[in-house]
């Protein structure tokens, strides 16, 4: 089923121990849309400037991504530059230029508004809420957030996520949002805020999935994929989101009935980890130029073999 993804489309400058690039396609919407496109039709909502290359539009459309909602306005595209530590567990932001993204006001084309799945990338909670209100009868909605919104826009964030089916968040943000150091307690608190499901990302250590059932809270842990070499982790979390949401959409999953679908939830998490791992193999989203669905499924089967007991 069709999936709408809203968020940033950007250019990045990246430096890792393996080298550097001065300008490459980036943005949370870009990564999650490319990832999700391996599972389901995707439509994006974002904003770019006059400098956005037609070849980068082609990169998106070559994956069947609908770009009707990608608005082009006068000015420059959002730009971010960062340097990773030697072990790539930390990064330092050098430059953040919001440019046209500073006034981003997501407008959904009429053709998007009846689509059943919606993923809200890391943007202002009030904008996330406004986008959801433009959708007619959305079947499943989830999104991402970050520490800035948690600290400085907490009330708006809580008002927004209470209407979501799932929240995707990393471990430090989960502790920050919940006020709990223990991740199990943190997840329980976040579930009390309203989302039916919480996915806590733990980088190279995988992800934790929590969801509420009539019998209480259930959880599963999924490992990270052990790459021979991590080339660039930029966008891996967004690719995780795209794989997770894309798989759910492809299966027509409704998290209101997720108690009957625990295996599907776990499969979605594993596909998320798979897509995040591929992202790390090259700079930026370049791996998606050659990645095939057969390769995605083969790595999923590796996960199955590694976790079977």
Q: Which domains does the chain have, with CATH numbers?
A: 3-297 (3.40.1190.20)
pLDDT at 50 over 50: yes
In the chain, count of helices (H) and strands (E)?
10, 13
pLDDT at 258 over 60: no
What share of the chain in percent tops pLDDT 90?
81
DSSP annotation of 224: P
pLDDT band for position 286 (cuts 50, 70, 90): very high
pLDDT band for position 7 (cuts 50, 70, 90): very high
pLDDT tens per residue across span 169-211: 999 999 999 999 999 999 999 999 999 999 999 888 889 999 9
DSSP annotation of 225: P
DSSP annotation of 243: H
pLDDT band for position 64 (cuts 50, 70, 90): very high
Q: What is the CA radius of gyration of the chain?
A: 18
- To which residue do tokens 């609908």 refer? 66
Average pLDDT score over residue span 53-68: 97
pLDDT score at 99: 97
- Classify residue 307 as exposed, middle or buried by CB count within 10 Å of its CB (0-12, 13-18, 19+): middle
> Do residues 209 and 265 touch, judged by C-beta distance below 8 A?
yes
Contacts with 119 (C-beta within 8 Å, 6 or more apart), sequence order: 3, 4, 5, 6, 32, 36, 141, 142, 143, 241, 242, 245
H helix or E strand, kind and range, residue 279 = helix 262-279
Residue 181 to residues 175, 176, 212, 248: CA-CA distances in angstroms?
A: 5, 8, 20, 30
> Do residues 109 and 70 touch, judged by C-beta distance below 8 A?
no
Q: Which residues of 174-201 are buried (b: 16+ CB within 10 A; e: fewer)?
A: bbbbbebeebeebbbbbbebebbbbbbb
pLDDT-wise least confident of 22-31, 35-44, 214-223, 277-286:
214-223
pLDDT tens per residue across span 8-48: 999 999 999 999 999 999 999 999 999 999 999 999 999 99
Residues in the chain: 309
- Distance in angstroms (rounded) separating the CA atoms of residues 200 and 185: 12
Angle, CA of 120, 28 and 93, to the nearest 5°: 130
pLDDT score at 1: 81
Indicate the SS3 state at residue 6: strand
Reading the block at residue 113, the tokens are 């508004």
Reading the block at residue 20, the tokens are 């550097």
Beta-bridge partners for 71: 47
pLDDT at 260 over 80: no
Give me the chain's average pLDDT, please. Answer: 93
Whole-structure pTM value = 0.95
> Do residues 269 and 222 touch, judged by C-beta distance below 8 A?
yes
Average pLDDT score over residue span 133-139: 91
pLDDT score at 257: 63
């Amino acid at each position: 089923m069709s999936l709408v993804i809203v968020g940033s489309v950007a250019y990045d400058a990246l430096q890792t121990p393996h080298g550097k690039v001065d300008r490459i396609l980036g943005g949370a919407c870009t990564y999650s849309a490319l990832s999700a496109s391996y599972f389901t039709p995707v439509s994006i909502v974002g904003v770019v400037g006059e400098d956005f290359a037609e070849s980068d539009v082609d990169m998106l459309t070559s994956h069947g991504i609908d770009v009707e909602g990608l608005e082009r306005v006068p000015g420059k595209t959002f730009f971010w530059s960062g340097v990773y530590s030697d072990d790539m567990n930390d990064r330092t932001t050098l430059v953040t230029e919001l440019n046209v993204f500073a006034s981003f006001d997501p407008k959904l084309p009429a053709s998007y508004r009846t689509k059943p799945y919606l993923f809200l990338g890391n943007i202002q909670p009030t904008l996330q809420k406004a986008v959801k209100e433009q959708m007619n009868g959305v079947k499943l909605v989830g999104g991402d957030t970050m520490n800035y919104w948690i600290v400085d826009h907490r009330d708006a964030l809580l008002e927004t996520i209470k209407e979501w089916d799932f929240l995707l968040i990393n471990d430090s943000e989960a502790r920050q949002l919940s006020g709990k150091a223990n991740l199990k307690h943190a997840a329980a608190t976040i579930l009390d805020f309203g989302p039916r499901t919480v996915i806590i990302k733990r980088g190279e250590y995988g992800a934790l999935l929590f969801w509420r059932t009539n019998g209480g809270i259930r959880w599963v842990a999924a490992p990270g994929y052990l790459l021979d070499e991590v080339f660039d982790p930029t966008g891996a979390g967004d690719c995780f989101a795209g794989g997770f949401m894309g798989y759910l959409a492809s299966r027509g999953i409704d998290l209101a009935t997720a108690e009957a679908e625990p295996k599907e939830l776990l499969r979605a998490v594993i596909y998320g980890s798979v897509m995040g791992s591929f992202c790390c193999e090259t700079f930026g989203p370049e791996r998606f130029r050659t990645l095939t669905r057969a390769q995605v499924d083969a790595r999923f089967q590796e996960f199955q073999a590694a976790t079977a007991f």
